Chains A and B, each alone.
Chain A
Amino acid sequence: MFDQIVFFVIAAIILVFSVLTVTSRKILRAAVYLLFVLIATAVLYFMMNYNFLAAVQLTVYAGGIVVLIIFSILLTSHISEHAKMAPLKQSLLSALATIAGAMLTLMVILNFVFVPNTTPVAEQTVNDVGLALVSYQREGFALPFEVISILLLASLIGAIVVAKKEKLILPGKEEISENAENDSAQ
C-alpha cells in the first residue's frame, strides 16, 4: 500500500513537472522543473532497487546536465525574457499529433499482457554492477564501456573546439580576435 502511494506521488510529480517544463514561458523556471522531473526519476530507480543507477542519474543528470543548461540559459538570455512559443495553429496541430501518438502507444501497452518474472533473484549490489561493467566474459559489458569512454573523449574535444574563440588571421593584417571585431561592430 505504502509503495503504491509513493509510486503515484512520484508519477504525479513526473507528469506535472514535465508539462510545466515544456509549457513554462520562463526558461530558467523550465530548467528547474526539469530538475524536479529528473530527481523524481531517480526516486523511481531507487524504488526499483537500482541504487547505483539512481546515484548516476542524480549526479550526471541532476548535477551535471541541469547545471550546464542553467549556465547556458544565463549566458544566452535575460532572466526577464519570456520564451516564444509556436503559433497557435502549430501548437494545436502538435498537441493533436502527440495525443494521437500517446493514445496509440497506450492502447498497445494496455492491451498487452506482461508476465512479470517473479523468480527470486539475489540482490544486485554495486559490486556486481562494477564487476559486470569491466568484465570481458560472457555477461560482461567491457566493450560498451570502452565505446562510451571513446565517445566521451570525442565529445569533450568537440565541445572545446566548437566553443573555442578562434583568432581570425586576415592576410596582410595583424591578428584580430573575434571579440575585438564584435566590439568594434557594436
Chain B
Amino acid sequence: MIQNIPLSYVLIVSTLMFFIGIYGFLTRRNLITMLMSIELILNAVNINFVAFNRYLFPQAFEGHFFAMIVIAIAAAEAAVGIAIIINIYRNFRSIDVEQVDQMKF
C-alpha cells in the first residue's frame, strides 16, 4: 500500500512532528504537557525507524523491533515520570516548572 508514496514524504512528516515536539518542550511550562511533547518526539523517531525498515530493508526486522523497544521505553518513562510529577505536586502543590525551583541553585 505504500508503493506510490516516496520515502521522503514519510520522513518529512516525521521531521515536522519531531520539531513540533521540541517546540512544545521548549515553550510549555507544565510538566505533564512537557511529557506529552516527549511522547511526540519519540513517536516521530518511531515512524523513522519503521519507514526505513519498510522501504530500504523490507526483509529485516531491526527497525520494527527498535520501534517496539522505543514504545516499551516510552511506557516505562511515562510511568516513572508521572510518579515523580505526582510526588512533586504533593510537595509543591503545583507542577509548573517556574515554581519547582528549590533544587535550582
Contacts and interface: CB of A to CB of B under 8 A. Distances in A.
Interface of A: 1, 3-4, 6-7, 11, 14-15, 18-19, 21-23, 27, 30-31, 34, 37-38, 41, 44-45, 47-50, 53, 56-57, 60-61, 64-65, 68-69, 72-73, 75-77, 83-86, 90-91, 94-95, 97-99, 101-102, 105-106, 109-110, 114-117, 119, 121, 124, 128-129, 132-133, 139, 141, 144, 148, 151-152, 154-156, 158-160, 162-163, 178, 182
Contacts of A77: 30, 32, 95
B24 A22 contact: yes
Given A27-B30, A76-B95, A98 B4 contact: no
Interface string B82-96: 111111011000011
21 contacts: A3-B4, A3-B5, A4-B4, A15-B13, A21-B20, A22-B20, A22-B33, A56-B68, A65-B39, A65-B75, A68-B78, A72-B32, A76-B86, A94-B23, A98-B23, A114-B8, A116-B6, A155-B77, A158-B80, A159-B80, A178-B90
A129 B96 CA distance: 42
B40 A18 contact: yes
A117 B67 contact: no
A7 B5 contact: yes
B43 A38 contact: yes
Given A75-B89, A148-B69, A50 B64 contact: yes
A61 B96 CA distance: 25
A162 B80 contact: yes
Given A4-B4, A48-B51, A72-B32, 6 more contacts: A22-B21, A22-B28, A68-B82, A94-B23, A116-B6, A133-B65
Q: Determine the main DSSP class of B at the interface with A.
A: helix
**Which 3 pairs show the lowest CB-CB distances between chains A and B?**
A22-B24, A155-B76, A94-B26
Contacts of A114: 6-8, 55-56
A61 B74 contact: yes
Contacts of A160: 83
Contact of B9 (A7, A23, A72): A7
B40 A34 contact: yes
